[in-house]
Chains A and B, each alone.
Chain A
Amino acid sequence: MDNNKKRYEILDSLPSYGPMYISISESGIPFYSEGFVVRFIKDDDTEWVANFEAGWGLDRVFDYPEKNLIVVIASGNGYVMNPNLEKPIKFINSMVKEAFQAESGDLIFIDDTGIEIFNPENLDVWTSERISWDGFKELRFENEIITGKSFDPTNSIKEWSEFSFNVKNKEIIGGSFRDSLKRNSHLEMKNRNEVKTKKNSDKQYDFENNITHETIDDNEIEQKDPTNWKAWYWGLMIFLGVQIALYFYITNLYTV
């Protein structure tokens, strides 16, 4: 195969003439709005136009001629294509915000919560644990290590916390999600997208100050707090009523 041969072209819009474009989506269901448009050139030099259903994020194309694969990121949606086939081989992710290519040729996709690595050799996708609550910034890829800042909307003081990811050994250091769990040791990961309260945990350890705090998780405290707040509230209102009645009495007593 001629590795220098042009195998695709990104188009600004759907072509107004020529053969009908082919819709490419994760579900396979045809759609009719304009997405990310790419013209593919098959091995026999015939062409076809793919209209990729767009997601939310990056537009980019990576070519692997030696594997006869083209990876298309259509506004965040990742499709693994063979230019000779008019349907995707694999769908990768729908929220790709940044992509890097490792020395090995692996593709590293970053969405709002973590990292995925696509191996073009065996088409496997490795998914990291959750690194960020919601978004990354200042991402850099140097010496096979990704660094940047991850967002934590629950941390009022430090909304962006640093993290690094080693592509070779897949080691993660820092990240807002881990920081958040460290701060709230009564919480644990339920799955990649959710956290849950640990059972039998009513304390949290403050690593920085070397002291144990009671958690201030509202649900737990509400459950454990034996105070009859309704009685307090009614008591307070009755006390107010008694005071007003007393003031009425005094006023009537001395009304001139």
Chain B
Amino acid sequence: MSLIDWCVLLFTLFAIVAYGSWRTRKNKNLESYLKGNNSENWATIGLSIMATQASAITFLSTPGQAYESGMGFVQFYFGLPLAMILISVFFLPIYYKLKVYTAYQYLEQRFDVRVRAFTAFLFLVSRGLAAGITIYAPAIILSTLLDWNLQLTCLLIGGLVIIYTVSGGSRAVSLTQKWQMTIIMGGMFAAFFYVLDSFPETIGLSEGVNIAGKLGKMEIIDTTFDLKEKYTIWSGLIAGLFLFLSYFGTDQSQVQRYLGGKTLKASRMGLMFNGLLKIPMQFFILFIGAMVFVSFQFNKPPIIFNTSATNVETQKQENLVSIENEYNTVFEKKKEALLAPETNTKNIQFLQAQQDYLRTSYKAEMSKIDKNYEEKDSDYIFLTFVLNFLPHGLIGLLLAVIFSAAMSSTAGELNALASTTTIDFYKKFFKDSEDEKKDLMVSKLLTVGWGILAIIIALTAGLFENLIQLVNILGSLFYGTILGVFLLAFFFKRIGGTAAFIAGIIGQIVVLLFHFLTVYEVIELGYLLYNIIGSGTVIIAGVILQLFINQNPKEGIIT
């Protein structure tokens, strides 16, 4: 990294932190800290919703996903627009009518305090772990590729987020996310044009798409009905709908974003904004990954992208050297074939398969030498391209993009974790305080506490096969149950608190059971299905239990 990159990176990061802290310096009560005094317009809400979801992992991992497996991952988001509509119609009016601070408050009014505490607890567990991963993911990649200290990188990301989240609360999160999202999209567009610029002169965008298509990277839609397949049109539309209903409708890190809206209309428009732009945005990020793949057909990529185990000893291994030599030869042959006036598609596909095989063999050899070597290196691909092909200054901006994304989603998570702990536990069970200043102080201390916990998780985490999948698996383990309880509350008016509470516990046990059976390869199940299994079990169990429980639902509830 050059001096100019460092200047761009540090200026961008500190400008965001200073802006967030300065604009919200007058926060003086709990309401403005947790809900931003209902002052946000629809654009801020929309960008804030997108920024909370789009963590650094999105920008690091998604292009790598397209590079390795093609653009099919975009199907994962097909359920999102429908989820936005359902939340807009059913969830939002209830939250606004009840003027809740957290989604879980509604459950106490609808059921009882046990159901509220149970769902809030599930949220704290899942989001608390995810906050750690959100910091860890970019830190491990940046530290590996830039040779930075991992612990210091985690501390830097976590520390900066804590500063402006604690000082400005929910409004600081929304305001900074708006600018972070602008920087992120600006950086990604710039990266896209430099990817195209890295193509040979005779290759333009349409030829690039053609090459990606011939090598299987443009197969977007998979219509097979296979429960083992993670990403098909059906899993995206059905299981994705459940996941996004749960994430956007019941996850406090998102609910808090749109509850800060000036009006119900502003919040709805924010959700529509997200529904319209999310799929094109993900498509664009995946498309960058596919174009990076094309670029690496002409600019020789390293045989492995995770260079953490590449030291002098491994370089000396003869078999590794011979695999790499063969890899280089195949690369040159393929490049020649691609640039030839008449391309032989089958030959190119054969050479690509050979190149993939050699890459896999090399990684297998590396694993034999170093047992801790992580073979899955798709998360490193995009940043490798950025560091090798982008001009100085833009590298700094792209790194700022990654930091911004990590900070924006972590800030949203910490803010939501602190709100839920303050409203659903501290004020509910431990302290019935009349002192607003004290409550505000407690809320800020809880933000610091969750921030420190997230940093500790980040410092102790281990690399997973693909980080964006890890975050989604983590969410899917708990979201189904939470969504099931909310669906019981909204649509099953005869269900009482006891039935909902027991059904929630049963649903969570069933989801964990399915997950362990999948982990230990007893069954094969795509993790998106956990969302359907969880919510389905809760609803069925709730309805059956209510038949045996002699308890009327609360009277006079606002639904």
Contact = CB atoms under 8 A, between A and B. Distances in A.
Interface string A161-198: 01000000000000000000000000000000000000
A109 B269 CA distance: 50
Contacts of B96: 216, 218, 221
A222 interface: yes
Interface stretch (B13-21, B76-84, B159-167, B361-369): B76-84
Interface stretch (B176-184, B271-279, B485-493, B533-541): B271-279
B101 interface: yes
Contact of B349 (A233, A247, A256): A256
Interface in A110-168: 153-154, 156-160, 162
B99 A244 contact: no
B279 A154 contact: no
Contacts of A157: 30-31, 101, 423, 427, 436, 439
A232 interface: yes
A236 B85 contact: yes
B220 A156 contact: no
B553 to A, nearest CB: 16
Interface string B260-304: 001111001100100110011001000000000000000000000
Nearest to B236: A244
A240 interface: yes
Interface string A235-248: 01101100110011
A256 B214 contact: yes
A247 B220 contact: yes
Contact of A255 (B88, B219, B436): B219
Specify which of A158, A160, A236 lies most central, judged by the most chain B CB atoms within 10 Å of its CB. A236
Nearest to A211: B37
Interface size class of A (residues with CB under 8 A): 35 or more
Interface in A195-251: 208-209, 213-214, 216-218, 221-222, 225, 227, 229, 232-233, 236-237, 239-240, 243-244, 247-248, 250-251
Dominant SS among interface residues on chain B: helix
A1 interface: no
B185 interface: no
Given A158-B434, A221-B263, A237 B82 contact: yes
B97 interface: yes
B233 interface: yes
B264 A221 contact: yes
A207 to B, nearest CB: 13
Contacts of B427: 157, 159
Given A156-B100, A218-B93, A240 B78 contact: yes
B101 A154 contact: no
A147 B377 CA distance: 67
A214 B82 contact: no
Contacts of B31: 157
Given A239-B81, A256-B216, A229 B264 contact: no
B214 A156 contact: no
Contacts of A213: 38
Interface in B215-271: 216, 218-221, 233, 262-265, 268-269
A237 B109 CA distance: 33
Contacts of A229: 88-89, 268
A156 B280 contact: no
A17 interface: no
A101 to B, nearest CB: 29
A240 B434 contact: no
A251 B265 contact: no
Contacts of B272: 232, 236
A121 B506 CA distance: 61
Contact of A254 (B74, B88, B93, B214): B214
Interface in B20-51: 29-31, 37-38
Contact of B264 (A153, A156, A218, A247): A218
Nearest to A158: B434
B213 A244 contact: no
A247 B71 CA distance: 10
Interface string B318-361: 00000000000000000000000000000001000000000000
A253 interface: yes
A156 B262 contact: no
Contacts of A225: 263-265
A3 B92 CA distance: 65
B179 to A, nearest CB: 25
Contact of A154 (B99, B216, B275, B276): B99
Given A227-B265, A251-B219, 14 more contacts: A156-B423, A209-B37, A222-B264, A225-B264, A233-B85, A233-B89, A236-B84, A240-B81, A243-B280, A248-B220, A248-B221, A253-B218, A254-B212, A256-B219
Interface of A: 153-154, 156-160, 162, 208-209, 213-214, 216-218, 221-222, 225, 227, 229, 232-233, 236-237, 239-240, 243-244, 247-248, 250-251, 253-256
The 6 closest A-B pairs by CB, nearest first: A254-B213, A247-B220, A254-B218, A218-B97, A251-B221, A240-B81
9 contacts: A157-B423, A216-B96, A216-B264, A236-B272, A239-B81, A244-B233, A250-B218, A251-B220, A254-B219
Interface of B: 29-31, 37-38, 74, 78, 81-82, 84-85, 88-89, 93, 96-101, 105, 109, 210, 212-214, 216, 218-221, 233, 262-265, 268-269, 272, 275-276, 279-280, 283, 349, 423, 427, 432, 434, 436, 439
